Amino acid sequence: MSSFVDSAQLHAKAGDGGAGCVSFRREAHVAKGGPDGGDGGRGGDVWVVADPNVASLLGFRDHPFRRGTDGEHGTSKRQHGSRGKDITVYVPVGTQIFSAEGELLVDLTGPGDKWLAAEGGLGGQGNNRFLSNRRRAPAFAEQGESGAEFWLNLELKLQADVALIGFPNVGKSTLIARVSAARPKIADYPFTTLVPNLGVVRVGTRRGRPGDATEFVMADIPGLIEGAAEGRGLGHDFLRHVERARVLCVLLDTAPTAMLTPAEQETILLRELGDYQADLLERPRIVVGARSDIAESLEGIDFPLSSITGEGVDRLVSELASLVTDARATEAANLIYEIVVHKPIPDEIHVEKDVYGVWQVLGRPALRAVRFQDLTDDQALSEVTSRLKALGVDRLLSRAGVRDGDVVTVGPLTLEWWRDQAGFGLDRGEHHRTTRRERLARSGRLGGEVDDNDEDEGSDD
């Protein structure tokens, strides 16, 4: 089984927030002690970090689940629950993260880059937080918020210094095995290599001064075929690893058994690279005539190479090292890299109308405004109403075209819109509290009957 995996899935689940506590101080000789419920702790986040010490996505193949811990609940005596622990997920540098729908969310191109994959839920506020001159004994508290949860697709684009490009069975694996400590599978049939192999090539010696040696990473990209840029075979899976290579080494098969001439091979390979990404043709590259030890003619080949006999190997490695050094110097002059911390854009409140004609208020701020443990409590509903008004939900509904009597849902809360003289449609004195199913049943959109007494029991008046 291969130890290199360049695509995998991640299930990121942040921790849930702890619930706030409803409690009143009860001690001897302390009359009317008042509310003393503590807040719940926040849930742990899930962070993804690019780590240069991680080589592939192998750790996600059989275990894609990563979860932050939940926050603890608040208790009496104003004791807050502890925060859940964050979890850090390490991925290779060059990992791209996509949503389940295929949208690119983040590209971790540099070592240390961080991305908040799932944000932990907020802890609920205890009843002590809702004490005011008008509300002397609040008997309600907030429920903890659920942590975010996502399925994500991970794709790795290698960041090698040199990428070996060539048709299948041209000798790329043999070359990387000769010049580095990599030990890829080598056989005399096409597509022996199914995943990229990486090898560290050292040029020069380390005797005396450390600067005497140059090291670079060489990637053995599985063989390309004509049509790879259009996805033929595993073209896209292979070609994406070429995108970030500093130098390209194109190997042409000069053996008499080759199906195409070296010139035809070069034409096809360069065309596939250009069709996939045009700027790949602008990268520094060396064109090499591989398997020159069995070639009948080397006409037109400026750089013959035989990985078996060693002909041209030292010259090739020296030339590649020079190109890599120049490319690194150019990058360093044009780029000063800093660690980047990526965070998702906060959700905005928006209004949608479903197929049943019910208006839904969506967005995390609105859902946070109604996360109380007991929405039948009059004081809690009053707090919800003031929060929604402060968020501008009334204005959003009016602009969306809501009419008197329309059903509006905000998370677990369902209410009926009525416009009073002041222009506010969420005033609790102007509507009745009912469940969504009851309203739909009364309007005839759902089957079943509802007792007329139910409306009186759910009224605020």
Residues 168 and 251 in one domain: yes
Range of the domain at 428: 350-457
The whole-number pLDDT of residue 434 equals 47
Residues 124 and 176 in one domain: no
Residues 129 and 173 in one domain: no
Among residues 373, 356, 383, the alpha carbon closest in space to that of 438 is found at 356
Q: DSSP string covering 162-186, please?
A: EEEEESTTSSHHHHHHHHSS-----
Residue 258: pLDDT band by 50, 70, 90 thresholds?
A: confident
Q: Which residue has the higher pLDDT, 90 or 27?
A: 90
Reply yes or no on whether the pLDDT at 87 is more than 60: yes
Mean per-residue pLDDT for 342-361? 86
Cα distance between the two ends of the chain: 70
Burial class (CB in 10 A: 0-12, 13-18, 19+), 313: middle
In whole angstroms, give the CA distance from residue 298 to residue 306: 12
Q: Which of 61-75, 167-181, 289-303 has the highest mean pLDDT?
A: 61-75
Residues 101 and 213 in one domain: no
Residues 409 and 426 in one domain: yes
The whole-number pLDDT of residue 195 equals 61
CA separation, residue 349 to residues 217, 224, 426 (Å) = 48, 48, 16
Reply yes or no on whether the pLDDT at 12 is more than 90: yes
How is residue 434 written in tokens? 């009912």
Please answer whether residues 172 and 164 qualify as being in contact, where contact means their C-beta atoms are separated by less than 8 angstroms. yes
Q: Which of 22-36, 170-184, 244-258, 385-399 has the lowest mean pLDDT?
A: 170-184
* Angle made by CA atoms 48, 52, 57, in degrees to the nearest 5: 60
Give the model confidence (pLDDT) of 134-143 as tens digits: 888 899 999 9
Residues 141 and 253 in one domain: no
Segment holding 268, helix H or strand E: helix 262-276
Residue 374 lies in a domain: yes
Mean per-residue pLDDT for 179-201? 59
In whole angstroms, give the CA distance from residue 341 to residue 168: 40
Residue 357: pLDDT band by 50, 70, 90 thresholds?
A: confident
The whole-number pLDDT of residue 409 equals 92
In whole angstroms, give the CA distance from residue 306 to residue 312: 7
Q: Which of 334, 367, 390 is the last residue of a domain?
A: 334
Mean per-residue pLDDT for 405-412? 89
Residue 323 lies in a domain: yes
| Percent of the chain scoring above 70 in pLDDT | 80
Residues 6 and 103 in one domain: yes
Side chain identity at 281, as an amino acid letter? L
Residue 211: pLDDT band by 50, 70, 90 thresholds?
A: very low
In whole angstroms, give the CA distance from residue 64 to residue 41: 26
Mean per-residue pLDDT for 323-350? 79
Please answer whether residues 255 and 295 qualify as being in contact, where contact means their C-beta atoms are separated by less than 8 angstroms. yes
The residues, any chain, with a CB within 8 Å of residue 140's CB and separated by 6 or more, are 22, 127, 130, 372, 373, 374, 377, 379, 380, 383
Residues 223 and 315 in one domain: yes
Give the model confidence (pLDDT) of 102-136 as tens digits: 899 999 988 889 999 999 999 999 999 999 888 88
pTM of this structure: 0.68
Residues 205 and 325 in one domain: yes
Please answer whether residues 182 and 176 qualify as being in contact, where contact means their C-beta atoms are separated by less than 8 angstroms. yes
Q: Which of 43-57, 74-88, 215-229 has the highest mean pLDDT?
A: 74-88
Phi first, then psi, for residue 353 (nearest 5°) are -115, 125
CATH number at residue 72: 2.70.210.12
Q: Which of 269, 300, 334 is the last residue of a domain?
A: 334
Q: Which residue has the higher pLDDT, 345 or 275?
A: 275
Q: Which of 334, 359, 374 is the last residue of a domain?
A: 334
Residue 341 lies in a domain: no
How is residue 387 annotated by DSSP? H
Residue 339 lies in a domain: no
Residues 373 and 431 in one domain: yes
Mean per-residue pLDDT for 197-207? 69
Residue 414 lies in a domain: yes
The whole-number pLDDT of residue 125 equals 94
Domain count of the fold of the chain? 3
CATH number at residue 383: 3.30.300.350
The whole-number pLDDT of residue 45 equals 96
How is residue 288 written in tokens? 């090499």
Residues 325 and 367 in one domain: no
How is residue 266 written in tokens? 């070069």
Give me the sheet containing 341-342, strands edge to edge.
87-91, 46-50, 114-118, 341-342
Residue 415, helix vs strand vs coil: strand
Across the chain, what does the average pLDDT equal?
Answer: 80
Reply yes or no on whether the pLDDT at 424 is more than 70: no
CATH number at residue 312: 3.40.50.300
The whole-number pLDDT of residue 291 equals 87
The whole-number pLDDT of residue 333 equals 74
Residue 345 lies in a domain: no
Residues 381 and 241 in one domain: no
The whole-number pLDDT of residue 271 equals 87
| Percent of the chain scoring above 90 in pLDDT | 28
How is residue 447 written in tokens? 């089957």
The residues, any chain, with a CB within 8 Å of residue 153's CB and separated by 6 or more, are 7, 8, 9, 10, 97, 98, 99, 100, 102
Segment holding 149, helix H or strand E: strand 149-156
Residue 342 lies in a domain: no
Residue 242 lies in a domain: yes
How is residue 377 written in tokens? 């409590």
Side chain identity at 142, as an amino acid letter? E
The whole-number pLDDT of residue 147 equals 93
